[in-house]
Amino acid sequence: MVCMTTATPGTAPRILAAARRQPVDRAPVWMMRQAGRYLPEYRAVREKADFLTMCRTPALAAEVTVQPVDILGVDAAILFSDILVPLEAMGFEVAFLDKGPRIANPVRALADLDRVRVADAATELPFVRKAVEEVCDRLAGRVPVIGFAGAPFTLACYAIDGGGSKDWSRTRRFLAEHPAAFAQLLDRMADTVASSLADQVRGGARMVQVFDSWGGILDEATWRAVALPPIRKIVRALKQVGVPVTLYVGMSPHLVEAMVDSGADMLSLDWRCDLPSILERHGDRVALQGNIDPCLLYAAPERIRQRVRALAEAVAGRPGHVWNLGHGLLPDMPVAHVRAFVEATRDPMGNGDQA
Amino acid sequence: MVCMTTATPGTAPRILAAARRQPVDRAPVWMMRQAGRYLPEYRAVREKADFLTMCRTPALAAEVTVQPVDILGVDAAILFSDILVPLEAMGFEVAFLDKGPRIANPVRALADLDRVRVADAATELPFVRKAVEEVCDRLAGRVPVIGFAGAPFTLACYAIDGGGSKDWSRTRRFLAEHPAAFAQLLDRMADTVASSLADQVRGGARMVQVFDSWGGILDEATWRAVALPPIRKIVRALKQVGVPVTLYVGMSPHLVEAMVDSGADMLSLDWRCDLPSILERHGDRVALQGNIDPCLLYAAPERIRQRVRALAEAVAGRPGHVWNLGHGLLPDMPVAHVRAFVEATRDPMGNGDQA
């Protein structure tokens, strides 16, 4: 199944063109965690099912995935799911509690690696592909669907620490004590992630994003040595599938050069990265996505518009920019402010030439 | 009271000379959280008293402050205390629970600011100065004592979010919604911190360090606008007192230029900062402290020695370097590895010309 999506008949959707650094009528916009609790319509669905049930039920996942397209008019839908969903198929017992995810059987010793297997998404995560297919049906070509997965290092953080952590000290200890085993674990994560992303593309996703949410806890040399090789493996696999790959790394101002070397088509920048200077320096190799501080959406709409305008002036219409936040939306953000951001990106200079 | 501390009679202690970018016989070493749970001797004291009692009891605070000097031979003692201790004197109810600090009456609305007052350390935090005095007595001039405090922005994070946080969204929301009130709060924090540090100097501290542990959640422009002015106020106050000021900012690769503009004598660098290139660029304006990844101390001593040697080669004996980690020691780090780090810094090239 393939979603046919064009903004204007006969042309590529804006976000696909922008990811390939081709000219667009206006820079497209979407937001990380746009299918989320800040939307009353999302909360209404969430009341009926727990988080994991929503991830596993294509009709529910598709419903909330499409909501921000209907409500806010963003230029892409990103599948509602969680980066830890593939870990279940790899042999981990994952629970989503109110205080965050918990893994009952984390990797703590070398022997624990024996039970970590590469998952084949088509057979072991069929509900993910079905959710993408259902999203495509509902969108009927309006905007493309973005598939996504966690990066191997970030998945390993949860697999080893067993849940969220302030300092990920168990993960970093395992890396320091068992570097070869750590690399093996990440390689299995990479194969699983590549399998999952390829299956999401078979379901209709037109581009994919890899989230290395915790990669920024590593210094550049370590990130290059440890986290980058499995990401490159995923990028190579997805290039063969033929879709653009976006790479997000959290807390990454020191990792931008290394991220460029991933081979990803687009980098999704943390809000602390200086997007204009990165565009200046690397804009001929990668597209850039971002990177407004999500907490700006707590401010008054006029300040949101000012900030969008300032970034638009710095980007100066150069191709290869996709509007987004530098991190995910938070549950208590006012929908009116989120809408103000989306609308500001459509006409940042207030010229009225809104698409 | 003044501690008289000289490494060699007639010369300044190594760490004071290094902080002023003067030549030293070898680069001095100490470690953030060196008075901590990784030491069995610390745990023995901690069994007798809870954390806050230790902070408030000069004899106990002094005992654990001196331990790493006795046990590991580091070149400075840093007062055992907590950055949140001054918040109590400002009107906050602070508790230290197993899962971290909790503030029972955080700032959540503008009206809450009315009860936040500037604290006078001499009258309201007498036990802090007494602890420094007792440390000086016990050290008898062997090494200098470093006084410390949290930076205003980091203190505000706890004062507003009410405890540790994954994203500090309450703090960032307050900043977005009430920027003028936020600045007022930070200014009161700055006056309290300056008062506390000056009193620690009166008690015998020969230098001070300001910890902006969470400053790195802000982008550079916001950090410069919000977090830097109160830090500059503190630096100016301490320069009048006549001691070198060190500034640490966590997650700070994007903030180094702004940190230089603080006027601090020394920057304590997060492990993700590239110390050699920062030394190259700013070494004529500031001394640099750091910045080994603390999690390297989980690795085998031979790898610790290799990493110290590599950094020593990059620094190439230029003055103005103090060995330290890029963040605090963690409780489960092996003492033997901590010792290997300290010893490696004394003779990084293995020439045997150990001081």
Encode pLDDT of A148-160 as tens digits. Answer: 999 999 999 999 9
pLDDT of residue B99: 87
Asked if the C-beta of A89 comes within 8 angstroms of chain B's C-beta atoms, the answer is no
The pLDDT-based confidence of B10 (bands split at 50, 70, 90) is low
pLDDT of residue B93: 97
pLDDT at site A26: 96
| Average pLDDT of span B259-282 | 98
State the pLDDT at residue B5: 47
Q: What is the pTM of this model?
A: 0.96
Average pLDDT, chain B: 95
Residue A67 pLDDT class (50, 70, 90 cuts)? very high
CA distances from A133 to A125, A147, A256 (A): 13, 11, 34
pLDDT digits (tens, 9 = 90+) for B287-325: 999 999 999 999 999 999 999 999 999 999 999 999 999
User: In the predicted model, what is the mean pLDDT of residues B88-103?
Assistant: 95
Q: What percent of chain A has pLDDT over 90?
A: 94
Measured between beta carbons, which residues in chain B are less than 8 angstroms from residue A251?
A: 216, 251
In this structure, are residues A135 and A65 in contact, taking their beta carbons and an 8 Å threshold? yes
A351 falls in which pLDDT band (50, 70, 90)?
Answer: confident
Residue (of A223, A214, A233) closest to A84 by Cα position: A214
Residue A145 contacts B, CB cutoff 8 Å = no
Q: Is pLDDT at B1 greater than 50 in this prediction?
A: no
Q: Judge whether B37 is closer than 8 Å to chain A, CB to CB.
A: no
Single-letter residue type at B321 = H
- Burial bucket for residue B297 (CB in 10 Å: 0-12, 13-18, 19+): buried
Q: H/E element holding B209? A: strand B207-212
Percent of chain B with pLDDT over 70: 96
Say yes or no for a CB contact (<8 Å) between B176 and A219.
no
Q: What is the Rg, in whole angstroms, of the alpha carbon atoms belonging to chain B?
A: 19
Query: CA-to-CA distance for A195 and A205, rounded, in angstroms?
Result: 13
Which of these, B74, B49, B72, B69, lies nearest to B60 by C-alpha position? B49
Which of chain A's residues have a Cβ under 8 Å away from the Cβ of B214? none
Instruction: Bin A174: left if φ > 0, else alpha if -120 < ψ < 50, else beta.
Output: alpha
Interface test with B, best of A298, A329, A337 (most B CBs within 10 A): A298
Can you give the pLDDT at residue A2? 46
Confidence of residue B337 (pLDDT cuts 50, 70, 90): very high
CATH class label, A14-346: alpha beta
Q: Report yes or no: A299 at the B interface, CB cutoff 8 Å.
A: yes
* Residues sharing a CB contact under 8 Å with residue A323, sequence separation 6 or more, in sequence order: A27, A28, A29, A30, A289, A290, A292, A308, A345
Tokens representing A147?
Answer: 């598939």
Residue A12: pLDDT band (50, 70, 90) is confident
The helix-helix angle for A228-241 and A152-161 (nearest 10°) equals 130
**Contact at CB, B298 and A251, closer than 8 angstroms:** no
B332·A169 Cβ contact <8 A: yes
Degrees to nearest 5, angle at CA A205 with A201 and A208:
85
Q: Mean pLDDT check: name the lowest of A1-5, A47-51, B50-54, B115-119.
A: A1-5
Q: What pLDDT is stored for residue A353 in this prediction? A: 54
